[in-house]
């Protein structure tokens, strides 16, 4: 039955671009050196590392090379940002502000700090998942040391007003961190203009390999490392540097930067067609997140009377890959905290579906989805006790 | 996550829908994940006793919930009430081959639905209710109230 492969889960992970893979390959074999070795192999690895650091400086409009710390994953970057700032600044205060729609690695880091004696404030969002910067201004107290707000929501795709939040944090002299994993490489980011002190970005969400990510840390920021060892990454992240992955990360960022404008426009168009098609073809369907302020590649819905895991597995039988925030698909049997934060009832989140497109998504993929999804929902509603 | 058999029953569910004028209805819900099942039975008598002649289900829930309700209709159809009362979650799991540990509660829900339908039939026909069935009914009743409150807008 699985004749077509229609991948609509680009927010989960992406395939590596062949151009990226090609750039990486020599670094597994002939250029395998350790970046801290003194002889030529090591020197070459070090040069490669610094060259790729510069690519990140450029795309983020950072000031210096030493503001970019390479890590192994966005989860690690977010852990370093939140715990690192907390540990280094606890003399000033123990209050941290996050939003109610953060990725679980930010949320769980903050909640872990809460157990260590820190205070956490979670800023609420409106029904479109948008944060009101004024709420952050109100929440900042004397002992606030960090504000961490996601840029583009991994689930509902909503874009947060981080420039305004950055300005508030600058005025109040509080560190501002943003998790930009879903927007990096897809939308322009300027750490200076946006007044960002720390920023997390990842490689595998933008056609680079898994195992590479970064944390931008503005010069002068007081932060403690989490991994101690040989003093790599300016003493902020010890570990032998994963050169092949970083080469891939650098290459993919170069490609994303070059193709960003065109690609973002193309994907936004496809996304809008997808949203319009789903809402028109399926009765009792609803869009999650903001209609306009959203990532170019994200669409998220909820369908009444049906459950998300059942939708996913039905689509899977037609070769379509997608994701859901339903309780049934989670390890804890709880619906997505992000959908609940937007005011969805658990039974509404139960019927949620996230579709995320990417570089290789074509109009025909959207057409195929628009053919299969209405059938899938109709079939499940036939079985559902709530439809007469 | 799921084996072939579970996916088979999910993709091609048997005996779904309503029965007009059923002899018993079982309505159950899981208060944690939010899944809901309804089971309809039609009972007739023959030499062996009271037989579940027809059985249909309606389920709002995940793959495991749909597969479990689908297979319980297969397992119960043609059985006497006495035989059907002996069905348990292990019978469902064995028939499906395997369920992920986190989805075991879906098989319990399917058994609950069947027992509730039988309970409903016995009550309506003023028959003796076995003690264990009565106990189980009381537990299910409590959970059902919470679930019905949750979905009141949809009913």
The yes-or-no verdict on residue A245 having pLDDT over 70 is yes
Q: Within a 10 A sphere around the Cβ of A316, how many other Cβ atoms?
A: 16
Q: Which residue of A has its CA nearest to B14?
A: A383
Does any CB of chain B come closer than 8 Å to the CB of residue A182?
no
Question: B148 — phi, psi (to 5°)?
Answer: -65, -35
pLDDT at B155 (0 to 100)? 64
* Chain B touched by A327 (CB under 8 Å): yes
**Mean pLDDT of the A10-32 span:** 97
Residue B99: is its pLDDT beyond 50? yes
Q: What is the mean pLDDT of residues A35-53?
A: 94
Q: Where do the H-state alpha helices sit in chain A? A: 18-24, 40-60, 74-89, 104-115, 133-139, 162-172, 243-281, 308-316, 337-341, 346-349, 363-383
Are the Cβ atoms of B102 and A326 closer than 8 angstroms?
no
Q: pLDDT exceeding 90 applies to what percent of chain A?
A: 93
DSSP 3-state of A190: coil
For an interface test with A, the pick among B61, B66, B113, B146 (most A C-beta atoms closer than 10 Å) comes out as B61
Give me the mean pLDDT over the B116-128 stretch.
95
Number of H-type helices and E-type strands within chain A = 11, 12
Residue A330: pLDDT band by 50, 70, 90 thresholds? confident
What mean pLDDT, rounded, does chain A reach? 96
Q: Is the pLDDT of residue B154 over 80?
A: no
| Gap from A343 CA to chain B (nearest CA, Å) | 15
**Domain boundaries along the sequence of chain B:** 4-150
Percent of chain B with pLDDT over 70: 99
pLDDT of residue A266: 98
pLDDT digits (tens, 9 = 90+) for A86-114: 999 999 999 999 999 999 999 999 999 99
pLDDT at A63 over 60: yes
Asked if residue A130 lies in contact with residue A158, where contact means CB atoms within 8 angstroms, the answer is yes
Q: Summarize the confidence of residues B52-68 as an average pLDDT.
A: 96
Residue A35 near residue A242, CB atoms below 8 Å? no
pLDDT above 90: residue A4: no
Indicate yes or no: CB of B33 within 8 angstroms of CB of A333: yes
Q: In which order are the strands placed within the sheet that holds B49-60?
A: B24-29, B36-46, B49-60
Provide DSSP, A20-89.
HHHHHGGGTTTT---TT-SSHHHHHHHHHHHHHHHHHHHHHT-S-GGGEEEES-HHHHHHHHHHHHHHHH
Domains of chain A, start order: 6-14+260-383 (3.90.1150.10), 18-255 (3.40.640.10)
CA–CA distance from A37 to each of A27, A42, A200, A245, B80 (Å)? Answer: 15, 4, 28, 19, 78
Please give the pLDDT value at position A213. 98
Q: Compare A232 and A331 and report the one with higher pLDDT.
A: A232
Query: For A336-360, how does the pLDDT look when each residue is reduced to its tens digit (9 = 90+)?
Result: 999 999 999 888 899 999 999 999 9
Span A126-174, pLDDT tens digits: 999 999 999 999 999 999 999 999 999 999 999 999 999 999 999 999 9
- pLDDT at residue A3 is higher than 70: no
pLDDT for the residue numbered B145: 82
The string of pLDDT tens digits covering residues B68-98 is: 999 999 999 999 999 999 999 999 999 999 9
Nearest chain A residue (CA) to B153: A386
ipTM for this model: 0.91
Which of B3, B4, B63 best probes binding to A when mutated, by most A CB atoms within 10 angstroms? Answer: B63
User: Residue B150's closest chain A neighbor by CA?
Assistant: A347
A271-322: pLDDT as tens digits: 999 999 999 999 999 999 999 999 999 999 999 999 999 999 999 999 999 9
Residue A2 has pLDDT above 50, yes or no: no
Specify the pLDDT at position A388: 66
- Hey, of A308, A318, A333, A334, which one would you mutate to test binding to chain B, going by the most B CBs within 10 A of its CB? A333
Positions of B marked active-site = 33, 106
pLDDT (mean) for A221-250: 97
- Please enumerate residues of B whose Cβ is less than 8 A from a Cβ of A: 2, 7, 10-11, 13, 16-17, 27, 32-38, 57-66, 102, 150-151, 154-155
Return d(Cα A47, Cα A246) in angstroms, integer: 12
Q: Do the Cβ atoms of A347 and B150 come within 8 Å?
A: yes
Q: What is the pLDDT of residues A277-291, one digit of tens each?
A: 999 999 999 999 999
Q: What is the CATH number of domain B4-150?
A: 3.90.1010.10
Contact residues, chain A, for B61 at CB < 8 Å: 307, 310, 328
| Token couple for A325 | 């925030």
Q: Which of A310, A331, A382 sits opposite B61 (nearest CB)?
A: A310
Residue A2 to chain B, least CA–CA distance (Å): 13
Residue B100 has pLDDT above 90, yes or no: yes
Position A1 pLDDT exceeds 80: no
Tokens read off for B133: 């069935």
Write down the pLDDT at residue A346. 86
């Amino acid at each position: 039955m699985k004749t077509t492969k229609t991948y609509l889960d680009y927010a989960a992970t992406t395939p590596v671009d062949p151009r990226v893979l090609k750039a990486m390959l020599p670094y597994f074999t002939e250029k395998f050196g350790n970046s801290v070795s003194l002889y030529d192999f090591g020197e070459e690895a070090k040069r490669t590392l610094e060259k790729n650091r510069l690519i990140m400086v450029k795309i983020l409009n950072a000031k210096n090379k030493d503001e970019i710390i390479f890590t192994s994953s966005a989860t690690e970057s977010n852990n370093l940002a939140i715990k690192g700032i907390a540990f280094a600044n606890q003399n000033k205060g123990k209050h941290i502000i996050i939003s109610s729609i953060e990725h679980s690695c930010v949320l769980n880091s903050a909640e872990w700090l809460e157990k260590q004696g820190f205070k956490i404030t979670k800023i609420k969002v409106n029904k479109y998942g948008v944060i009101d910067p004024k709420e952050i201004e109100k929440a900042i107290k004397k002992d606030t040391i960090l504000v961490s707000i996601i840029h583009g929501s991994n689930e509902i795709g909503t874009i947060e007003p981080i420039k305004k939040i950055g300005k508030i944090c600058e005025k109040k002299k509080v560190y501002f961190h943003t998790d930009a994993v879903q927007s990096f490489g897809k939308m322009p980011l300027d750490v200076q203009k946006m007044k960002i002190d720390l920023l997390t970005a990842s490689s595998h969400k933008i056609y680079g390999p898994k195992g590479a990510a970064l944390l931008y840390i503005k010069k002068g920021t007081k932060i403690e490392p989490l991994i101690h060892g040989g003093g790599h990454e300016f003493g902020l992240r010890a570990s032998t540097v994963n050169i092949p992955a970083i080469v891939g990360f650098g290459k993919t960022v170069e490609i994303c930067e070059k193709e960003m404008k065109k690609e973002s426009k193309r994907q936004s168009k496809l996304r809008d067609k997808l949203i319009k098609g789903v809402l028109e073809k399926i009765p009792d369907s609803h869009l999650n997140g903001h209609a306009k302020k959203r990532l170019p590649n994200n669409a998220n819905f909820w369908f009444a009377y049906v459950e998300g895991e059942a939708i996913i597995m039905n689509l899977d039988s037609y070769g379509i890959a997608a994701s859901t925030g339903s309780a049934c698909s989670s390890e804890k049997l709880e619906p997505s905290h992000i959908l609940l934060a937007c005011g969805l009832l658990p039974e509404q989140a139960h019927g949620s579906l996230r579709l995320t497109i990417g570089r290789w998504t074509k109009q025909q993929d959207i057409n195929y989805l628009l053919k299969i999804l209405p059938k899938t929902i109709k079939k499940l509603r036939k079985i559902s006790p709530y439809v007469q | 996550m799921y084996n072939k058999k579970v996916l088979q029953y999910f993709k091609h569910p048997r005996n779904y829908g309503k029965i007009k004028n059923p002899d018993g209805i079982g309505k159950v819900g899981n208060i944690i994940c939010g899944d809901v099942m309804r089971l309809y039975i039609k009972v007739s008598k023959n030499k062996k006793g009271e037989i579940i002649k027809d059985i249909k289900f309606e389920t709002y829930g995940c793959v495991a919930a749909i597969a479990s309700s689908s297979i319980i209709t297969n397992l119960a159809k043609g059985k006497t009430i006495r035989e059907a009362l002996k069905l348990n979650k292990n019978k469902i799991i064995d028939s499906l081959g395997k369920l992920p540990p986190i989805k075991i509660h879906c098989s319990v829900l399917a058994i609950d639905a069947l027992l509730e339908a039988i309970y409903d039939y016995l009550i309506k026909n003023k028959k003796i209710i076995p003690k264990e069935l009565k106990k189980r009914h009381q537990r299910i009743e409590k959970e059902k109230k919470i679930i019905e409150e949750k979905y009141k807008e949809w009913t």
